[in-house]
Copies of this chain bind each other. A is one copy, B any other.
Amino acid sequence: MSYLEVETPAVLIDVELAEANVRKFQDYCNQHALNVRPHIKTHKIPELAKLQMKAGAVGINCQKIGEAEIMAEQGLDDILITFNILGDAKLRRLRALSDKVSSLAVTADSSTVVRGLSSMFADAVKPLGVLVECDTGGHRCGRQSPQDAFDLAQEISALPGLRFGGLMTYPAPGGAAAVQSFMSETIGLLENSGLACPTVSVGGTPDMWRAHLVPAATEHRPGTYIYFDRSMVARGTCSEADCAINVLVTIVSTPAPGRAIIDAGSKVLSSDLLGLDGHGYVIGRPDVSIAKLSEEHGHLEYPADSEPLVVGERLRIIPNHACVVSNLVDAVHFVKAGRVDRAVAVSARGKVT
């Protein structure tokens, strides 16, 4: 059907555009001999993870065990969970997941975490891969220095049930030089000790086209690149025409001149600003700003001399941040050649644990 027939608000995914985005980055990585391990947090849809695998990805990246469980159920069988897993219940789920897939790895940045992992996997036939998370300037999790990273790698390699899987970082945007320096120094320490470093995994869509500036890296983990969004347009990572995710909305009120209200608020578009002005970009209407969001209303403002918006009119919005929008809806609509193909469940949505 025409996407004009879909009930609004609706999240539309242009599947052909998404596939083109995936292929373009895969080609780039192939040229630079980098593996691609897409982060599924952006779409949370097994079918799209399979599309990424088919294009040449070596495996997928999840942030939560719950996401990985959904992906494994659907046949994805090489999974890296880039999160410190703690606590008996989660460790039991991790062990069960490991029995199900051909390759499972996690990241860790402390002795507490790796000792917990080892206690659960000590008697496992297949050891759990554990990558050391390194803080290369992102200032989130991660070992603070190459020596610290090396120390934890040694601890992992000595613990039963674990295999040292390599190094991982989620860098600050523009942090290629810092990543290279941290990683090459750590690799030096590992080599000197005779410990092999099978993987150096670097993340992020913001720096996806600069991934080759980290020669130490063996794989890149982009998430947003499949859909892109307004924040990536603003950074110059993509153009407006590359954005495969749109939020279709209806004008429900034009109460006063220069003000229009849409049927999507923070419960669809999210409140994420990511440093931008306004809550999204109205396609074809650069004069219209999404000035404010209530939970179920979006407040549009436009100049007095603009073409007035009309109650019942539909607009398409490029959201500021794709990953949080797909997490807010139970299903998205796949669009092909400008027509709605079908509704697709966002199966891993809301898997917070």
Residues of A within 8 A of B (CB): 5, 7-10, 41, 63-64, 83-84, 86-87, 89-90, 109-110, 112-113, 135, 139-144, 250, 252-256, 259, 261, 263-264, 266-268, 270-273, 294-297, 299, 311-312, 323-324, 327-330, 349-350, 352-353
Contacts and interface: CB of A to CB of B under 8 A. Distances in A.
A324 B271 CA distance: 10
B311 A328 contact: no
Nearest to A320: B271
Given A140-B294, A296-B63, A267 B86 contact: no
A156 to B, nearest CB: 16
A154 to B, nearest CB: 18
A86 B250 CA distance: 8
A252 B295 contact: no
B142 A255 contact: yes
A113 B310 CA distance: 12
| Identical copies in the complex | 2
Contacts of A324: 266-267, 271, 295
Given A63-B296, A110-B311, A330-B350, A253 B9 contact: no
Given A63-B296, A83-B296, A252-B86, A112 B266 contact: no
B352 A329 contact: yes
A324 B267 CA distance: 7
17 contacts: A5-B89, A41-B296, A86-B263, A86-B311, A87-B312, A110-B311, A113-B252, A140-B297, A140-B299, A142-B253, A264-B352, A266-B270, A267-B324, A267-B352, A271-B271, A271-B324, A328-B352
Q: Which 6 pairs of residues, A with B, have the shortest CB-CB distance?
A: A84-B252, A141-B253, A271-B271, A112-B311, A7-B353, A63-B296
Contacts of A273: 271
A253 B138 CA distance: 14
A350 B328 contact: yes
Contact of A253 (B63, B110, B253): B110
Contacts of A272: 266, 271
Nearest to A298: B140
Contact of A353 (B9, B113, B311, B323): B9
Nearest to A294: B140
A311 B90 CA distance: 15
Contacts of A112: 311-312
Contacts of A89: 5, 7
A7 B295 contact: no
A323 to B, nearest CB: 6
A104 B346 CA distance: 32
B268 A270 contact: no
In this complex, the member of A9, A41, A89, A141 whose beta carbon has the largest number of chain B beta carbons within 10 angstroms is A141
A141 B297 contact: yes
A275 to B, nearest CB: 12
Given A112-B311, A270-B271, A349-B350, 7 more contacts: A7-B89, A9-B352, A113-B252, A135-B255, A139-B299, A266-B270, A271-B324
Nearest to A328: B350
A191 to B, nearest CB: 25
A227 to B, nearest CB: 14
Contacts of A63: 295-296
Contacts of A350: 328-330, 349-350
